[in-house]
Amino acid sequence: MAIEREGGCACGRVHYRLASPPMFVHCCHCLSCQRETGSAFVLNALIETDRIEWLGRAPAPLSVPTDSGQSHRIFRCEDCQIAVWSEYGGVAKLRFVRVGTLDDPHAMRPDVHIYTRSKVPWVSLPEGVPAFEASYDSKKLWPAESLLRRRAILS
Ligand SMILES: [Zn+2]
Ligand SMILES: [Zn+2]
């Protein structure tokens, strides 16, 4: 199990392990995520910062401009510059880990698709996974245990 939740950058200096499954996994189709990844969407595993164990060097944060004005810092390996996670709104206890940096990137599937209004037309969404034009109400969608975990870090 644990090996499924290890990941890191391309050069291997940033290496991490998630101590538990994430609270929730977002597939975000917004234009900012498309630009920041150079791809069609991003897969983010939302997890408490203190559940990320260091097995290598820590990545360094870099602030990026946002449309909303809300802060967004992307954490990158200082050597190979691969982005491993993001911090939104200055919430230091919560990380958005890029699922594609896991050693087994297929280990986590999206729990929700968001900002589908800007989804590229050639991506079709699977049946049975909730999808929203923009953001969504996590209180209606997240498992109770995940909501408790989030409350514990945001209170
Ligand atoms: Zn690296
Ligand atoms: Zn996005």
Residues 6+ apart with CB under 8 A from 137: none
Q: Please give the distance, rounded to the nearest whole angstrom, from the Cα atom of residue 123 to the centre of ligand 1.
A: 30
Under the banding of pLDDT at 50, 70 and 90, the label for residue 1 is: very low
Contact between 51 and 95 under an 8 Å Cβ cutoff? The reply is no
Q: Tell me the pLDDT tens digit for each residue of 46-63.
A: 999 999 999 989 999 999
Q: Please give the distance, rounded to the nearest whole angstrom, from the Cα atom of residue 125 to the centre of ligand 2.
A: 16
Which residues have CB less than 5 Å away from ligand 1 (the ion)? 9, 11, 13, 77, 79-80
Contact between 18 and 54 under an 8 Å Cβ cutoff? The reply is no
**What b/e readout covers 18-40, taking b as 16+ CB neighbours within 10 angstroms?**
beebbbbbbbbbbebbbebbeee
- Distance of alpha carbon 44 from alpha carbon 48, whole angstroms: 13
Q: Note the pTM of the prediction, 2 decimals.
A: 0.95
Q: Give the closest ligand to the alpha carbon of residue 83.
A: 1
Q: Tell me the pLDDT tens digit for each residue of 71-80.
A: 999 999 999 9
Q: Tell me the pLDDT tens digit for each residue of 93-143.
A: 999 999 999 999 999 999 999 999 999 999 999 999 999 999 999 999 999
